[in-house]
Structure 1
Amino acid sequence: MAEDKGHYPHTSVWLRPPRESRTERRSGGRGSQAPAGLSRDRIVRAAVRLLDADGLAAFSMRRLAADLGVTPMSVYWYVDNKDDLLELALDEVLADMALPEVPDGPPDPDPDRADHDWPQQLRALAREWRRVLVAHPWATRLHGTYLNLGPRSARFSRTAIAVIARSGLPPEQYAGALSLVFQFIYGFATTEGHWRERARLTGATEDELYEIAYDTAVRTDAGLVLHAELVQPRRTEGVGAVRERDFEHALDCAVLGIHAMVTAARLTAEAGGRAGAAGPARTAPR
């Protein structure tokens, strides 16, 4: 058997044992001790707090160590590098997600007996995903950068697959249906988070910032007036209220579109069954 030299793939922090366990194994349990009062969980939670407060651009291992009241080398006892810590933080933000309860076991293969609660469950998942991304806007910039194979991400993925499996869709369409919903959520939440951050940095409310953008657009191009009037309710109802209405309408479009596909698949299957029951077509006698 080849000697373990402590080399691990660097594609994801989740594909390697925690750093402290590797350090202990290499030293045979002897040698330097872990810094008192620290743990990987505490470091990750502190990283999330700093990322929420200051953003991704301002985050550094030195700043994190200062916040924890330790030296940077103490942090590196538990994480190899900043990338590993960011990937751990990306999973940590999913900790408080309220996921719907989905029955254990495989779904009924008969579309007529599909779980009729799945649209509400899918909507609940979508709303929670949006909440997390808006609460932690830095996370939208990290998705796709890291594999995020952590336990909380896996739990979310398992729940999403279990929900869509109970819709009655054929398995080969699960991924496409989930991509429709969650890529929409990602885009919507990313834009929402950027807009809120822009308002915060300018010292204006969201409605004040919209007024500035509206007036500037009208002055820049008079042709925009017609299009701007189409979103006039934003000026009278408020950006937040209209955004919530837009989100729910768009989510309905996605969920109802999946429901329509389920219905179409069932009707196609029923039509095929009737055609099969009628037997082969007969040719007219000559």
Structure 2
Amino acid sequence: MESAADNAKQPLRTSVWLEGKPAARGRRSERSDHPTGLGRDRIIAVSVRLLDAEGPAKLSMRRLAAELGVTAMSLYWYVDTKDDLLELALDSVFSEIDTVGPADDEADSGTDPDSGTDSGMGSGTDSDTGTDSDWRDDLRALAVNYRALLVRHPWVSPLAGKFLNIGPHSMEFSAAVQRVMGRTGLPAHGQMGALAAVFQFVYGFGTIEGHFVQRCAEAGMTQEQYYREAMGRINERPEYRGRFDRAEELMAARGGDTAEEMRERDFTFALELLVAGIEAMRARG
């Protein structure tokens, strides 16, 4: 049994991205007899597919190897541990978010993004004329795409809380978010709080939605069918019926013919509240 002293001697493994160049990780040698037709990109792509279908708990090197048609030991030419594999898969799906926006275009055109006049910090061109570089539109787009990612890959939310998320695609998303927030006109000390308000909301909303969608799929029902079934059973129980009367009134008031439409209205309205809050705080100076 390992003692606390033994564990203390072992270097802390914080991230696959901090263990040397990820492209060179794994137990490779100078030999050329490594598995043919197998590469890190293919391993990651199949891992994402298995994670979508079965979740992180069921993913193992043996399960992945069977899907790839190779031996489990073959995978160690490319990754050292399952955690490394999960971290690589997590970063790869962030590439699905389109982070190219007006701010990037301006930078590519030679405009200095750090100059006082072109930074978009509440300038008339960015926030008052409603041009394509409006930070509100870019913030909405990033929020909507992040929510879609969380719903499309329900395993992302628990892993995002476990790993550092410092891979290239995750960092590109983070940089895009910070660029947009830097154009809101908020003072520097308030930008991180605004970022947390928006994207912690999206994280929570997308996580719950993703898990609900997954549960409906496992039950072989649409979201609307599952919702109606659940509410019907609740209304059959007198101890619950009264507690949900107010909730049903609110659901009727928010509109929408289906559970999906009601959720869409909620997300859109909540996001607009946050955008309005940023505008109000900016106005305070």
What is the percent sequence identity of the aligned residues? 45
165-174 or 97-106, which deviates more:
97-106
- Equivalent residue for 1:263? 283
Aligned AA for 1:140? S
Q: Does 1:140 align with 2:161?
A: no
Deviation at 1:230, TM superposition (A): 2.3
**In the alignment, which residue of structure 2 is the partner of 1:154?**
171
Q: Deviations over 1:68-89 (max 9, x none)?
A: 1110001111101100100000
Contact in 2 for aligned 1:199/1:205 (Cα 8 Å): yes
Aligned-partner Cα distance in 1 for 2:200–2:59: 26
Which of the residues 237, 243, 260 maps onto 1:224?
243
Structure 1 unmatched ranges of 5 or more: 1-6, 266-286
Deviation by residue 1:5-50 (Cα, 9 ceiling, x = unmatched): xx9751000002257736689x5x3x46432211111111110011
Partner letter of residue 228 of structure 2? Answer: E
* C-alpha RMSD over aligned residues: 2.3
2:69 and 2:224 map into 1 onto residues whose CA distance is 40
Amino acid at match of 1:209: Y
Report what 1:202 is aligned to. 219
Equivalent pairs, count: 256
| Residues 47-58 of structure 1 aligned to structure 2 (within 5 Å) | 47-58=47-58
- 1:71 partnered with 2:71: yes
Structure 1 residues 61 and 24 mapped into 2: Cα distance closer, same or farther (>3 Å)? closer
Q: Does 1:238 find its partner at 2:249? A: no
Unaligned runs of 5+ in 2: 1-9, 108-112, 128-133
Report the secondary structure of 1:79's partner residue.
Answer: coil
Q: Which SS does the other structure have where 2:235 is aligned? A: helix
After superposition, the C-alpha distances for 1:193-228 in whole angstroms (9 at most, x for unaligned) are: 111111111112111111122122223323124222
Do 2:138 and 2:180's aligned partners in 1 also have CA atoms closer than 8 Å?
yes
Paired position in structure 2 for 1:279: none
Does the C-alpha gap of structure 1 residues 20 and 161 become closer, same or farther in structure 2, counting only changes over 3 Å?
Answer: closer
For each residue in 1:142-176, what CA deviation from the matched residue of structure 2 results, as whole angstroms up to 9, or x when unmatched?
11100011000111111111111111111111111
Alignment of 1:164-183 (within 5 A): 164-183=181-200
- Higher Cα radius of gyration: 1
Q: 1:20 to 1:246 in 2, by over 3 A?
A: closer
Normalised by the length of structure 2, the TM-score is 0.83
TM-score, scaled to structure 1: 0.82
For residues 115 and 174 of structure 2, the distance between their equivalents in structure 1, rounded to whole angstroms, comes to 16
Q: Distance in 1 between matches of 2:245 and 2:50?
A: 43
Aligned partners of 1:64, 1:147: CA distance in 2, in Å? 24
Partner of 1:14: 17
Structure-2 change in CA distance of 1:8 and 1:16 (3 Å): farther
Aligned-partner residue type, residue 139 of structure 1: V
Q: 1: CA distance between counterparts of 2:40 and 2:212?
A: 33
* Cα separation, partners in 2 of 1:115 and 1:231, compared to 1, 3 Å: same
Which residue number corresponds to residue 3 of structure 1?
Answer: none
Q: CA deviation at 1:236?
A: 6.7
Distance 1:174 1:256 in 2: 14
Post-superposition, which runs of at least 4 consecutive aligned residues in structure 1 deviate over 6 A?
Answer: 233-236
Q: How far is the alpha carbon of 1:107 from its aligned partner?
A: 5.9
2:256–2:262: 8 Å Cα contact kept in structure 1?
Answer: no
Matches within 5 A, 1:266-285: none
Q: Deviations over 1:114-160 (max 9, x none)?
A: 72200111001001111111111111111110001100011111111
User: What is the distance in 2 between the residues matched to 1:36 and 1:196?
Assistant: 38
Structure 1 Cα separation of the partners of residues 159 and 204 of structure 2: 13
